[in-house]
Structure 1
Amino acid sequence: MHLALFLTLSGLHLGGWRHTSSSHADPMDIRAYASLARKAEQAALDMIFVADKLAIDSTYGGSIEATVSSRAMGSPEPLTLLSALSVLTDRIGLAATISTTYTEPYHVARMLGSINHYSRGRLGWNAVTSVSDGEARNFGRKSHLEHAERYDRAAEFINVVQSLWRSWKPDAAVRDRDLGVYALTDHINPIHHEGQHFQIEGPLNVPPYPEAAPILIQAGVSEHFSDVASRYAEVIFPVLTTSARAHDFVTNFRDKVALAGRDPNKVRILPGCVPVVAETDSRAKKFQAELDALIQPLAGLTFMSGSMNHDLSQYPQDELIPDLNSEIRGSRGRFLPFIADARAKGLTLEQTALSYARDLSFPSFVGSPATVADQMISWVNESGIDGFTIIPPNCPASDNLFLESVVPELQRKGAFRRNYDGKTLRHHLGL
């Protein structure tokens, strides 16, 4: 299987930052991120992955007060972080989130192209559409684009970035001192893009890294996401709650990739999972209970509100969570099935928020290293996914346990590599 590590100093579990085994490192300390990245590299993981939001969630109650009082926050800008990690690591892939709604293609093509040079072909970019009005207000807009429009913009954005990288042919720069010719004029060309969202002349003003272009990653599960990702993505990070749902999603998505004229086996599907690992199964369950006891209800409510782009403070917390199908303007693919399941179980809004705060609706694998490894292998075999994006519940204890105990179990069972046999992210992923 292929494995990516979600790089964070606070962990995914919204109570994890309060646990005694969690890091006290400054969330802006590059040394702490570099330490985790090097441990993941020693374990031969395919890549590390940096997520991002462009605002402190202010949807719940119309202010940031509830968010900042209940949740860990503050992390480096992703490309700045990857730029540093590109020279502090040697082999592991480096991937980061870029908003196609609140950036411009030329800037993105230039920055990613530069870091891909620094890392020598180890870069991936996660093209997302962002989720909330709070992000929009930080970029001079009153509200976030609607679902269909932002995915239309994303598709055009991706096309422009890739066209800019192709605006230089691989052998464009000859640097012939004797003839006084630096580059071949017919090998560097404008792209003349005229689209609905962008009008860009080009060419890019830096050459691409010749051995491997950055890997395009997309995250989501909605229909609009699938339509765009089936045409462009090389890796996807979907939210898949059960292996049965994962199997259905994988089958449908690979069919879409084939209909788009692409090889469905050349897209890696790496859903998120939350491994809760301890020395024994019983200790792992106890650890999970300890984490759950540290959740503040507001942490889940603010996170859900921001991601759904809908204010949950207007509903009673002690009543059945309402049907929000027509209200969700943010991440629809994740929340529609999650809320439907919560309503079917008769959960109140507060109970739903506490449940979400445990794992953000990703599957949790709980147990000893051998148990967790077996659960992961079963998922891969039953669903047809290619591996996982590992999202630790807290850091660094959970990272260390996974990398130092679960990975060796996977290797012993023949389910994961022991060493790298290539130098680029494309090589690691078989792309």
Structure 2
Amino acid sequence: MAARRTMSLGLSIANLGYHYAAWRHSGVPADGNMRFAHFKYCAQLAERGKFDLIFLADSSAVRDLDNTAIARELEHQLVKHEPMALLAAMSTCTSRVGLVATGSTTYNEPYNLARQFATLDNLSKGRAGWNMVTSFSIDEARNFGLDRVLPSDHRHERAAEFLDVFKGLFDSFDDGGIPRDKASGIFFDRSRTHVLNHKGKHFQVRGPLDCETTPQRQIPVFTAGDSENAQELAASSADVVYGGQPDLESARAYYASLKGRLAKYGRTHDDLKVMPGIMPFVGRTMAEAEAKFERMQAMILPRLGLGLLVVNGFPDYTGYDIDGPVPDIAMPANRKGHFSSPLMQKVKQDGLTIRQLYEKVSAGFWHMGVVGTPESIADLMEEWFTTGAADGFNIQSPCIPVDSEDFVNLVIPELQRRGVFRTEYEGATLREHLGLRPAVSRHALQPLYAVGG
């Protein structure tokens, strides 16, 4: 009998939480984003909850400082550690949970990033994963010598070649290619060593990688994005997609779109996992959950709320009464974001105030926000999981660690009781946690060739 399908879960650690006012919560250490003890505790909490992985989102910039309408100085997410170094440290205080870091294909070189991830996978005994991004912000571009964001087609073309080189470097040594045979004096076997000799449009990389074959051979690759370019890259090369659909209907459509692209790349339905983000406010009763939610919403300062609207494609409503109706003024011509169009319809339908509008935006940051009991949240997750919307979820706790503790203590046992989430780790590596097939070297069925020859 085939094993019952169970969902994958990631704990996304966005410093102090996914709610914009998280750092002001009394149970959150305001300086936790700079304290290793904070991240150590979160990683060990995720491991106690049997999570597949912890996930560190990242961008190499402090964004939007030039736009004073966006109150970035009131947020906590933009002051952070570099994720690779942080995960290397976290690998020493955990033993099972996966460790996923963000790395940009636009502002890195394949060889350097491959070395970093190969090192992390070796140090963690097979728990590394790469969140591959192409980087969309002007602030990042300016930190790497550019005065504009490169076009999407260019960034995704570069990403596809980057990924091919990256994976090729991970196959630099065959299994058993580093015998360390003291009797013969052979440390590594030239006949089992592969030179990549890649010469492409964006990269020229000789190789081989100077790291031993890692426990996973190929680390799982995560990505995200709704565009055609992003979905095609995911379908061709990724192992996990971090979804951002806020409702069941759109999530099912996105899931079907991604899975429907796999066959043309010779891949099966189970070769790509779709894990939407979910921000859960959990209470033992609905009243308790709603009180938690309202308490956090009340911590959003008006200037922060107005800035969130600007970030998500709305006009700058500074100077208007925030408890008055949303002004009927033209939307920005270059508006962006998931919220502007559907929310403007709700503004007209329900007569929302400016405060109500920014509170709705803060409650859903490219993900599904939910307020409920352990049972109702498990109901929702199980419905998405069993009806073609998700293979698992990335938990985006509003406040870290307090809401992460509530999820582990209250929701995880309910999911386990229903048989849709593990009670113990079955494997040791991230690939095994995710149920991915073992990676096989591209050279396994090819003739061996020696370095230099």
Query: What TM-score do the two structures reach when normalised by structure 2?
Result: 0.87
Match in the other structure for 2:334 = 327
- Pick from 393, 397, 404: which aligns with 1:388? 393
Cα deviation code 1:187-217 (max 9, x no counterpart) = 2222121222111111111122144431111
- Pick from 41, 50, 58: which aligns with 2:56? 50
Quick one: structure 1 residues 40 and 101, their matched pair in 2 at CA, closer, same or farther if it must change by over 3 Å?
A: same
Q: 8 Å contact 2:65–2:72 — kept in the other structure?
A: no
In the TM superposition, 1:264-275 aligns within 5 A as 264-275=269-280
Residue 116 of structure 2 aligns to a residue whose secondary structure is helix
Counterpart CA distance in 2 for 1:160 and 1:314 is 47
Q: Tell me, yes or no, if structure 1 residue 142 matches structure 2 residue 113.
A: no
Greater Cα offset, 271-280 or 11-20:
11-20
In the TM superposition, 1:66-85 aligns within 5 A as 66-85=71-90
The alpha-carbon deviation at position 138 of structure 1 amounts to 1.0
- Pick from 17, 36, 47: which aligns with 1:11? 17
Q: Tell me, yes or no, if structure 1 residue 166 matches structure 2 residue 192.
A: no
Match in the other structure for 1:295 = 300
Larger Rg: 2
In the TM superposition, 1:229-308 aligns within 5 A as 229-300=234-305, 302=307
The alpha-carbon deviation at position 386 of structure 1 amounts to 0.6
Residue 27 of structure 1 aligns to a residue whose secondary structure is helix
Counterpart CA distance in 2 for 1:352 and 1:160 is 45
Match in the other structure for 1:20 = 26
Counterpart CA distance in 1 for 2:24 and 2:194 is 54
Match in the other structure for 2:451 = none
Q: Tell me, yes or no, if structure 1 residue 181 matches structure 2 residue 186.
A: yes
Q: Tell me, yes or no, if structure 1 residue 33 matches structure 2 residue 39.
A: yes
Residue 361 of structure 1 aligns to a residue whose secondary structure is coil
Residue 81 of structure 1 aligns to a residue whose secondary structure is helix
Residue 71 of structure 2 aligns to a residue whose secondary structure is helix
Counterpart CA distance in 2 for 1:302 and 1:114 is 40
Counterpart CA distance in 1 for 2:116 and 2:77 is 28
- Pick from 424, 433, 440: which aligns with 1:428? 433
Q: 8 Å contact 2:236–2:262 — kept in the other structure?
A: yes
Residue 394 of structure 2 aligns to a residue whose secondary structure is strand
RMSD across aligned positions (CA)? 2.4
The alpha-carbon deviation at position 350 of structure 1 amounts to 6.8
Structure 2, gaps ≥5 residues long? 1-6, 321-325, 437-453
The alpha-carbon deviation at position 361 of structure 1 amounts to 3.3
Quick one: structure 1 residues 304 and 78, their matched pair in 2 at CA, closer, same or farther if it must change by over 3 Å?
A: farther
Q: 8 Å contact 1:9–1:396 — kept in the other structure?
A: no
Match in the other structure for 2:441 = none
Q: 8 Å contact 1:277–1:402 — kept in the other structure?
A: yes
Match in the other structure for 1:102 = 107
Quick one: structure 1 residues 316 and 108, their matched pair in 2 at CA, closer, same or farther if it must change by over 3 Å?
A: farther
Counterpart CA distance in 1 for 2:395 and 2:266 is 30
Counterpart CA distance in 2 for 1:67 and 1:426 is 37
Counterpart CA distance in 1 for 2:235 and 2:67 is 37
Match in the other structure for 1:344 = 345
Match in the other structure for 2:130 = 125
Aligned amino acid, residue 135 of structure 1: E
Counterpart CA distance in 2 for 1:19 and 1:211 is 39
Q: 8 Å contact 1:61–1:311 — kept in the other structure?
A: no
The alpha-carbon deviation at position 25 of structure 1 amounts to 4.3
Aligned amino acid, residue 334 of structure 2: E
Quick one: structure 1 residues 301 and 214, their matched pair in 2 at CA, closer, same or farther if it must change by over 3 Å?
A: farther
Q: 8 Å contact 2:9–2:395 — kept in the other structure?
A: yes
Residue 414 of structure 1 aligns to a residue whose secondary structure is coil
Cα deviation code 1:327-363 (max 9, x no counterpart) = 26xxx6xx2x422212222368776544222221311
Quick one: structure 1 residues 274 and 210, their matched pair in 2 at CA, closer, same or farther if it must change by over 3 Å?
A: closer
Aligned amino acid, residue 51 of structure 1: A
Aligned amino acid, residue 340 of structure 2: I
Greater Cα offset, 235-244 or 340-349:
340-349
Q: 8 Å contact 2:309–2:316 — kept in the other structure?
A: no
Quick one: structure 1 residues 348 and 147, their matched pair in 2 at CA, closer, same or farther if it must change by over 3 Å?
A: farther
Residue 371 of structure 2 aligns to a residue whose secondary structure is strand
Q: 8 Å contact 1:239–1:362 — kept in the other structure?
A: yes
Quick one: structure 1 residues 56 and 304, their matched pair in 2 at CA, closer, same or farther if it must change by over 3 Å?
A: farther
The alpha-carbon deviation at position 303 of structure 1 amounts to 5.5
Counterpart CA distance in 2 for 1:50 and 1:262 is 27
Match in the other structure for 2:162 = 157
Q: Tell me, yes or no, if structure 1 residue 402 matches structure 2 residue 410.
A: no
Residue 135 of structure 1 aligns to a residue whose secondary structure is helix
Aligned amino acid, residue 301 of structure 2: Q
Counterpart CA distance in 1 for 2:257 and 2:144 is 36
Counterpart CA distance in 2 for 1:67 and 1:115 is 32
Residue 267 of structure 2 aligns to a residue whose secondary structure is coil
Quick one: structure 1 residues 85 and 70, their matched pair in 2 at CA, closer, same or farther if it must change by over 3 Å?
A: closer
Aligned amino acid, residue 142 of structure 1: D
Cα deviation code 1:153-181 (max 9, x no counterpart) = 11111111111111222221122233322
Aligned amino acid, residue 82 of structure 1: L
Aligned amino acid, residue 275 of structure 1: P
Aligned amino acid, residue 214 of structure 2: Y
Counterpart CA distance in 1 for 2:339 and 2:14 is 24
